[in-house]
Structure 1
């Protein structure tokens, strides 16, 4: 853990990512990558040296024209889960525990941010998004686009469903940010000679069988909820069912990677099948069956 050229290089990368926050289109890529240099620096430096690298980075980003407070706020937001990930790496924690901790940290920070904006600044970010969507859809309707079939009720329904799906979107974005950071940080830390546990191979991906029970219960309960219901249960199921369906899609991918591993298929075959699984969500049923029953035992080599 020395103050060396590699650490300075990663500090420079962190600064460039912060400065690129204000660049349209590029900022989405920046958000996906911003945690990586923070993780690398925290995992390879002492806490004092980490601060010696990070503080100047944020100060420069704050005073550079075109960057400013917005970039710093976003950077600080992702700095916290990056420290959590780096701390787990230093302690050699299993990858599942690391990713869970980082995922929960991002979600917790997002909720705190929403509460702070609403309670301190009097700004509801969800309400702002809702108003903008209503204005946008209202403008489309006023211009005569689909005027025969598009009504104010349609606008309200779309806005309501979008707002209700925010928890699902937050969870997916948090998972994506965590997965990207874990994947890239692990490879970057290999350059420092640090061995970081990785994800298990795709053919070993398995979900707990209890998730099948939760999924079936959610589907049955959803059948008895009337259309237009705005209760907490309805919103919870609106987010839970698609997330579980996606999880079982991943399980189905793991099943076909398992088959490829057992049968000696060419590497592109399970990848192509995985793409098909993503395109056709009903095929997640394969993952449900794989999780519920010991199907893989029938294909194991003896």
Structure 2
């Protein structure tokens, strides 16, 4: 009985999150939309799962129309993937990566279908949106100032970079959605008596050393290929790969701070204060500490000196 009422409660949460997709709240709620689906799939049989999901879809389609079901399917697929992983007691890291990978593959598949069958161009769509925003600004601001902004080469360059960074943004968003889902689902399942693997403590995270080689290859290509590396397909790869790797190195840096604080018995506030410049002051390349932590046995030295 408890499990059934819990499932009904999560179905209601799923409905509310689904309805929020047609509101400005979608900027926030989209990051939590797979959570109810993961919990329901992990705790119910396939038949019971369908009986909980279908009424939610019917209500959502009745309120906003059938098109909202396309969004529902998009978010339900990674939820089923992660829910299946929890049922199989797969490692937490593999579960998170599988969920993020499912979201990323879906996006690429939708983009491919839209481009091939509907002649959709993502860059042109973003440019049209930017032109619409500029047009609105022209109506509410000084015309000469608006024209100066439109003709600014710096603005055009920033727009080009924004378009090229779309893959990077999608990858980071996919990982964020999967991590948020795991952070909520795992303790919830544990409270229901269903033990599932958890991620190792953040202070013990160690990223693979191969990331350093990928980063060095990207830097060398930028140095020796020249201006051609900044354009076309190769430029898009480099523009997304290098910031993404730096993002991973930032995570490693933060993990190292918490590792050092734990083993040297620092005040818990100290690692939090150290994280602030890493995240908020990108001009300081503190992510280099993460590279050193991956490449050299810094942690072994800390534990050895602390004895």
TM-score for the superposition, normalised by structure 2:
0.90
8 A contact 2:221–2:229 mirrored in 1? no
1:233 maps to 2:206: no
How far, CA to CA, are the matches of 2:136 and 2:65 in structure 1? Answer: 33
Deviation, 1:155, is 4.1
CA offset digits 1:95-144 (Å, max 9, x no partner): 11111111111111001111223333443344211222244347658832
Deviation, 1:185, is 1.1
Q: Following superposition of structure 1 onto structure 2, how do residues 101-250 of structure 1 map, counting pairs within 5 Å?
A: 101-137=98-134, 143-145=143-145, 151=151, 153-224=153-224, 225-226=226-227, 229-250=230-251
How far, CA to CA, are the matches of 2:131 and 2:228 in structure 1? Answer: 21
Partner of 1:21: 21
8 A contact 1:248–1:285 mirrored in 2? yes
1:283 maps to 2:280: no
How far, CA to CA, are the matches of 1:71 and 1:30 in structure 2? Answer: 15
How far, CA to CA, are the matches of 2:149 and 2:61 in structure 1? Answer: 49
Partner of 2:262: 261
Bigger shift: residues 222-231 or 154-163: 222-231
Q: CA RMSD in A?
A: 2.2
CA offset digits 1:140-192 (Å, max 9, x no partner): 58832275676354443222211111100110111111111111111221221
Deviation, 1:280, is 2.7
8 A contact 1:138–1:155 mirrored in 2? no
Partner of 2:78: 81
Q: 1:149 to 1:101 in 2, by over 3 A?
A: closer
SS in 2 for 1:119: helix
Deviation, 1:194, is 1.2
| Gap regions ≥5 residues in structure 2 | none
SS in 1 for 2:287: helix
Equivalences, count:
299
Deviation, 1:3, is 6.3
Partner of 2:42: 43
Deviation, 1:223, is 2.3
8 A contact 1:134–1:156 mirrored in 2? no
8 A contact 2:254–2:275 mirrored in 1? yes
Bigger shift: residues 221-230 or 186-195: 221-230
8 A contact 1:134–1:155 mirrored in 2? no
8 A contact 1:117–1:125 mirrored in 2? no
How far, CA to CA, are the matches of 1:152 and 1:115 in structure 2? Answer: 32
| Gap regions ≥5 residues in structure 1 | none
Q: 1:15 to 1:143 in 2, by over 3 A?
A: same
Deviation, 1:212, is 1.3
Deviation, 1:21, is 1.6
SS in 1 for 2:120: coil
Of Structure 1 and Structure 2, which has the larger fraction of its residues in helix? 2
Deviation, 1:234, is 1.3
Q: 1:6 to 1:149 in 2, by over 3 A?
A: closer
8 A contact 1:2–1:45 mirrored in 2? no
